[in-house]
Structure 1
C-alpha cells in the first residue's frame, strides 16, 4: 500500500500531531474534565499533564523529546531523494558541493527556529536584553536537529552509534565529575548542577527558572542524542534488508524495551530528569518514543486505519505554526468564547470549563483545516 503523502510518512504527521495536541489545548480539556468528573482515570490523566517538579517523569515531560525524535526519524527520508539523484547509498558519500547546499539549508532552518523561539519568548515585546529569554523549545529543536544532521551526513551507522553513546556517557561524566564552584561535583540540583552553572555563566538574557534554563546550553548536547535515536529508527525502517516489516517493528519494539530498562537502571545513579535532559532521560523517553512510533506506523501506514487520525494530521502537518500560535501569538480563547460562549452558558456550571476548553480545540482545528485545504503549511 502507499504509506506516504507527498513523500511524508503519514504516521509521522499523526505522531507529531498527537504530541502537539496536548500542548496546544488538550491539556486544558483533561484538567477541566478531571474537575468536572473527578474519577480516578481522569485525575491520573490530569496529573500526567504537568511537568515533574525535578527528578521523575510524566507523560507531559515526553512531549518535547518525542517531537524531536520524530524530526530525527524524518531525516533519512528527507535526504533520500538527494542521495538517489547523486547515485550514492550513504549520505556520507554525497558530493561536497551537494553537502554544502544541505548544510546551508540546515543552517537556515536552524536560524529561523532560533528566531521563532525568541519571538515565542516575547522578543517583540522589547522588554530589554536582560529580560529576554533566548533559550527556547524551538531553538533546541533547531540546534539538536542540526548537529544530528551533521553527524548523519558525515559518518556511517557505526560511527553514528559511537557519537550517540559518546554523547550520553560524556554528558554523564561531565555532570557527575566536573566540580561546580561552591557546590562541588555531581550535585544535580537546580543551583548546583553543571548545566545550571553553565547557563548562568554563558546564557544571555533571562533564564527560565532564574538559576538554570530547561532549554539551556549544556543540556542541549544530550538532546542531539534524542534526535539521533530518531535518525537510527528512520534509517532502519527504510533500509533494504532481509527482515520483513513485521520483524522490523518487532526489533524496534525490543530496542525500545531495552532503552526503557537502561533508563530505569541509569536512573539509580543519574536520575531521569527532563529539566537537565539527563542520559537516563534520553534512554527512557527514547524507548517510549520508539513505541509510540511503532504503534502509529503499524496502525496508520501498515493497516491503513487513517480516517480517525485526520485531526492529528491537521495538527502534525502544521505543528510549528500551531505551536507558535497557541503559545500566545493568537488568542484562541477569545475567539472560542465569541463563537461558542452563548451556547456554553446554558450548560451545567461545573461542565462549562470543559466545554470552553473543548471549544478552543474546535477553533484551532477549524483554522488548521482551512490551512490544510489551501495547502498552506509553515515550512522551515
Structure 2
C-alpha cells in the first residue's frame, strides 16, 4: 500500500514543469483543501475550535485561509503577468482578460448562491425565497473584485506607487472606520465603532443592499456582509502583499534558501506588526481590518517560506502531490465542492437530507460527534480527490 501511494505521488510530481515554483502550487493546494475541509463538516454543531471562524474580534487558523488564497492570487498576477508582457501581450489585452475573468468569477459566485431547492417543502418558492433574496457578495465575488483591482494597479503603477497604495489602503481604511460618522434610520449618530452590526462597513452595506441580500440579515442596527463593499478595499492590500512577494521571488539572483530566509523574516515582522496594530485596531476577518491584513500576509510568508525550504531546498516532496492535484484546479475544486455540498443537503432521505443521514447513520455512530463531523469532511475531500485526480491525469484544467 505504501509503495502504491509513493508511486502515485511520484507520478504526479514527475509531471511538474521544471521551471514552476512547486511551493506555490502546493501552497495553493493546501489553501483550497483547507477551505473545503472547514466548509463541509458532518454537522455544524460539532466543529473543533480551530475549524471555526472567530466570533468577532480575534482569529483562528480558519480565518487565515481566505487571505492566503488572495495572497497567492497576488503572487500569480506577478509571475503570470510578467511572462505575458515578455511574450509581447499589451497591457490592454491583459486587463481585458482580467475584466472577463472577474465577470466569470462573479457569475460563478451567483450561481452557487442560487443553486439550491428545498424539495421537502411543498410551499417552497425558488424565485421568492432564493432568486429575489440572492446574496450579491461572497467569496468568489470578493476574489473577483480584488483580482481585477490588483491586476489594474500592477499594470499601471510603478513599484513605489504600488507600495504607497498598500500603505494608503491600510491606513486609509483605519482612519475611515474611526473618523467618518454615520447614523441609523432614527438619526442616532455613531462614530468609530467596530461592533457586530454597528460599524461604518456594516452601515455602507445596509445602504447599498436590502438586508435580504446580505449574509447577516438580522444584524442590528445594520445588516451587513462579511465580504462587504468597504472591507474589500483592505482585501486589495492583501493581494498587493502577494504581488510584492511575487516580484521578489522573480529575481534571479537569489537561491531558494535565501528566498525562504527572507520570506521567514518578512513574515515574522509582519505578524508582529499586525499583532501590535491589533491592540488599537482589532484583528477581525469580517471587517478585514488592516491589522488582519498584516497578520495574515505575514503568516502567508511564513507558510511559503516553510514550503520552499521543505520542497525546494530539502527535496521532501512526495507528501505534497495531492495538494498539487487540488491546487491545479482550485476554482473547479471550489465549484465542485459547492455543488456537491448543496446536493447532499437538497436530496431528501427519510426525515432528513442525504448529508444528515450519512452523518447520523454512518459517521456519528462510527466516530462520535466531533470526530464523526471531521471524518465526514475528510471523506468529502477523499471523494473530491478522485474527481480532481481524473481531471488532472486527463489534462483538464479549468481556467476561468
TM value normalised by structure 1: 0.84
Cα RMSD for the two superposed structures: 3.2
Give the stretch that moved more between structures: 318-327 or 209-218. 318-327
Deviation at 1:190, TM superposition (A): 2.4
Q: 1:207 aligns with which of 203, 214, 222?
A: 214
Deviation at 1:23, TM superposition (A): 2.6
Mapped partners of 1:140, 1:164: distance in 2 = 18
Q: How do residues 25-40 of structure 1 correspond to structure 2 at under 5 angstroms?
A: 25=37
* Residue 242 of structure 2 is aligned to residue 235 of structure 1: no
Deviation at 1:299, TM superposition (A): 1.8
Cα 1:133–1:365 shift into 2, 3 Å: same
Equivalent pair of 2:326/2:388 in contact (CA under 8 Å)? yes
Q: How do residues 26-105 of structure 1 correspond to structure 2 at under 5 angstroms?
A: 46-86=48-88, 98-105=90-97
Equivalent pair of 2:271/2:294 in contact (CA under 8 Å)? yes
* Residue 292 of structure 2 is aligned to residue 286 of structure 1: no
Aligned residue in 1 for 2:387:
367
SS of alignment partner, residue 222 of structure 1: helix
Mapped partners of 2:365, 2:288: distance in 1 = 46
* Residue 313 of structure 2 is aligned to residue 309 of structure 1: no
SS of alignment partner, residue 240 of structure 1: coil
SS of alignment partner, residue 61 of structure 1: helix
Deviation at 1:62, TM superposition (A): 0.6
Aligned residue in 1 for 2:282:
271
Deviation at 1:348, TM superposition (A): 6.5
Deviation at 1:342, TM superposition (A): 11
Q: Which runs of 5+ in 2 are unaligned?
A: 1-13, 117-125, 218-222, 348-353
Q: How do residues 274-353 of structure 1 correspond to structure 2 at under 5 angstroms?
A: 274-329=285-340, 331=343
Q: How do residues 178-197 of structure 1 correspond to structure 2 at under 5 angstroms?
A: 178-181=180-183, 182-197=188-203
Alignment deviations for residues 274-305 of structure 1 (CA, whole Å, 9 cap, x no partner): 00000000011110011111111222234332
Mapped partners of 1:56, 1:346: distance in 2 = 34
Mapped partners of 1:321, 1:190: distance in 2 = 33
- Matched positions, count: 358
Mapped partners of 1:329, 1:119: distance in 2 = 13
Cα 1:191–1:30 shift into 2, 3 Å: closer
Q: 1:18 aligns with which of 21, 25, 30?
A: 30
Equivalent pair of 1:177/1:185 in contact (CA under 8 Å)? yes
Mapped partners of 1:346, 1:269: distance in 2 = 47
Q: 1:110 aligns with which of 98, 102, 111?
A: 102
Q: 2:114 aligns with which of 96, 116, 122?
A: 122
Deviation at 1:194, TM superposition (A): 0.7
Alignment deviations for residues 12-49 of structure 1 (CA, whole Å, 9 cap, x no partner): 221122122223236767999xx8xxxxxxx9xx2111
Cα 1:311–1:119 shift into 2, 3 Å: same
Mapped partners of 1:194, 1:345: distance in 2 = 43
Deviation at 1:156, TM superposition (A): 1.8
Cα 1:143–1:7 shift into 2, 3 Å: farther
Mapped partners of 2:99, 2:181: distance in 1 = 34
Aligned residue in 2 for 1:198:
204
Aligned residue in 2 for 1:38:
none
Mapped partners of 1:196, 1:184: distance in 2 = 12
SS of alignment partner, residue 260 of structure 1: helix
Q: 1:258 aligns with which of 266, 269, 277?
A: 269
Deviation at 1:357, TM superposition (A): 4.0
Mapped partners of 1:337, 1:178: distance in 2 = 46
Cα 1:3–1:220 shift into 2, 3 Å: farther
Mapped partners of 1:348, 1:223: distance in 2 = 39
